[in-house]
Amino acid sequence: MQKLIKDLIQKNNTKILLIVLDGLGGLPVNGKTELEIANKPNLDALAKKSACGLHIPVAMGITPGSGPGHLSLFGYDPVEWQIGRGVLEALGLGIELKKTDIAIRVNYATIENGIVKDRRAGRIPTNESRKITERLQKKIKKIDNVEIIFRPGMEHRFAAVLRFPKPLPKGSASIKDTDPQKEGKRPVPVTSETPQAEKVAKVVEKLISSILDIIKNEPAANFILLRGFSQVPDIPHFEEVYGLKPLCIAIYPMYRGLARLIGMNAPTLKGDIREEIDFLKKNYADYDFFFLHVKKIDSYAEDGNFKGKALKIGEFDSALPEILNLNPDVLIITGDHSTPSVLKSHSWHPVPVLLNSPYVLGNTSKAFSERECLKGEFSIFPTVNLMPLALANAGRLKKFGA
């Protein structure tokens, strides 16, 4: 699809704004979803005059991670381009990765008697997490002949990079996550899944042991869980494929990492939706495509906080008029995946989406919700088709064939 799109691109002065409300889709509690109980008059009014639908990030029944979900939104087939979260986290935190690197996304966790009590160490404050990570970097610089790089992230997260002396063969990052994915279980042992990964696994085992010696007396962050072992892939850049100059506006590092991987400008930001909107307005004249990411909706859902997720949707809604005042030629509001609060995790359910431009049918959905989007003109469709739809509505695609 990208090759076809690249051949049809024509440039103009239109602007495309993609807003990703992380983990947007949900499931009913007492008959209604988080979107259906949220106070969102602006989203509902916009949905009425937009093209609405539900999109599927990977395939029917497949639960996407955040990486595949966002890649698909950007028009990259997530099955073809499988990128580990370690790479995304490291790039997002400003680490320049090399072909000699293995990148890992790490959670501080709480463990008691060998059992994981809290996979996120109570979401310890970012400042506290940063101090612990900086202490690790002071005390651990090399294991065997491998350089170790740590970089603190948001709350309980940080990145670890193993920098080997020579480039590594493909398959070297094929190591199972040590995160059991649920509390009340033992951590998963470090397990290599290919012969190429055995050397890396031995270094990882020593790394874990060294870290635990340092943090074992921490009240909450007394353990670590490693996820997303990965190497840097070769992937075509967004501007090269779509002819759009892109800007990423995201607070959380992983999303900046994904944006940087495909060549977006993704400066480090702090704050919340208020700071993101201010940054959008400040830079609006200088770019063609804007990716604005809103995280906390997903965080509340993963904590099982149904009302909290709905309130966060309402908070975004109250900020929407300020965004609409910019008058983007194409505005898309959606999520990268569904995170129903009742499941406390990502799910396979299709994700609500609205696309607003002068060239949509509209008046097929009465509100912005899962049920109403199903009635929309897009119905249910693969997420990778969203970028071609955005380009078409922006007048950036020539006719195919004579």
Q: What is the pLDDT of residues 45-62, one digit of tens each?
A: 999 999 999 999 999 999
49 and 131, same domain (yes or no): no
Could you tell me if 106 and 152 lie in one domain?
yes
Of 10, 9, 13, the C-alpha closest to 327 is 13
Residue 318, pLDDT > 90, answer yes
CATH of the domain at 174: 3.30.70
Asked if residues 280 and 249 have their Cβ atoms less than 8 Å apart, the reply is yes
CB contact burial 80-89 (16+ within 10 A = b; e otherwise): ebebbbbbbb
Q: Residue 48 to residues 322, 360, 377: CA-CA distances in angstroms?
A: 19, 11, 11
319 and 305 belong to one structural domain: yes
Q: What pLDDT, on the 0 to 100 scale, is given for residue 97?
A: 86
In a domain? residue 401: no
Is the residue at 399 inside a domain? no
Q: Model confidence at 400, in pLDDT bands (50, 70, 90)?
A: very high
What mean pLDDT, rounded, does the chain reach?
95
Which of 213, 230, 247 marks a domain boundary?
230
- List the 246-249 sheet strands across, edge first: 246-249, 289-294, 16-21, 330-334, 351-356, 51-56, 379-382
What average pLDDT score do residues 211-233 get?
Answer: 94
**Is 276 within a domain?**
yes
Please give the pLDDT value at position 108. Answer: 97
> Do residues 244 and 387 share a domain?
yes
Q: Does 151 reside within a domain?
A: yes
Q: Angle 211-196-203 (CA atoms, 0-180°, nearest 5)?
A: 15
Taking residues 8-15, what's their average pLDDT?
A: 96
Average pLDDT over residues 218-230: 95
Q: Are 86 and 102 in contact (CB under 8 A)?
A: yes
Task: List alpha helices for 262-367, DSSP H.
Answer: 273-283, 296-302, 306-324
Give the integer Cα–Cα distance in Å for 43 and 22: 16
Confidence of residue 99 (pLDDT cuts 50, 70, 90): confident
Q: What pLDDT, in 10s, does the model give residues 190-220? A: 999 999 999 999 999 999 999 999 999 999 9
301 and 272 together in one domain: yes
Mean pLDDT of 298-322: 96
Position 10 in a domain: yes
Burial of residue 327 (number of CB atoms within 10 Å: 0-12, 13-18, 19+): exposed
Secondary structure E strands in 75-199:
101-112, 115-118, 142-143, 146-152, 157-163
Residue 110: per-residue pLDDT: 96
The closest alpha carbon to 52, from 362, 397, 400, 331, belongs to 362
Check whether 253 has a pLDDT greater than 90.
no
> Is 89's pLDDT higher than 90?
no
Please, are residues 196 and 171 in contact by the beta-carbon 8 Å criterion? yes
CA dihedral sign of residues 26, 27, 29, 33: positive
Share of the chain above pLDDT 70, in %: 100
Q: Is the pLDDT of residue 170 over 90?
A: no
Which residues form the domain of 174?
Answer: 87-230
Query: How much of the chain, in percent, has pLDDT values that exceed 90?
Result: 87
**Residue 280 lies inside a defined structural domain of this protein:** yes
Q: Are residue 74 and residue 94 in the same domain, yes or no?
A: no
Q: What is the CATH number of the domain that holds 65?
A: 3.40.720.10
The reply to whether 201 and 161 lie within a common domain is yes
The answer to the question of residue 311 being in a domain is yes
Q: Are residues 158 and 118 in the same domain?
A: yes
User: Using an 8 Å Cβ cutoff, are 253 and 278 in contact?
Assistant: no
Task: Work out the average pLDDT over 269-290.
Answer: 95
Instruction: Confirm whether 398 is domain-assigned.
Output: no
Within this chain, do residues 240 and 284 fall inside the same structural domain, yes or no? yes
Instruction: Tell whether 205 and 287 lie within a shared domain.
Output: no
DSSP class of residue 284 equals G
Tally of structural domains, the chain: 2
Last residue of one domain, picked from the residues 170, 195, 230? 230
| 247 and 349, same domain (yes or no) | yes
* Predicted confidence band of residue 100 (pLDDT cuts 50, 70, 90): very high
| 154: confidence class by pLDDT, cuts 50, 70, 90 | confident
Q: Are residues 50 and 134 in the same domain?
A: no
The answer to whether residue 286 scores a pLDDT higher than 90 is yes
Residue 361: its pLDDT value, please? 96
Among the candidates 230, 257, 277, a domain finishes at 230
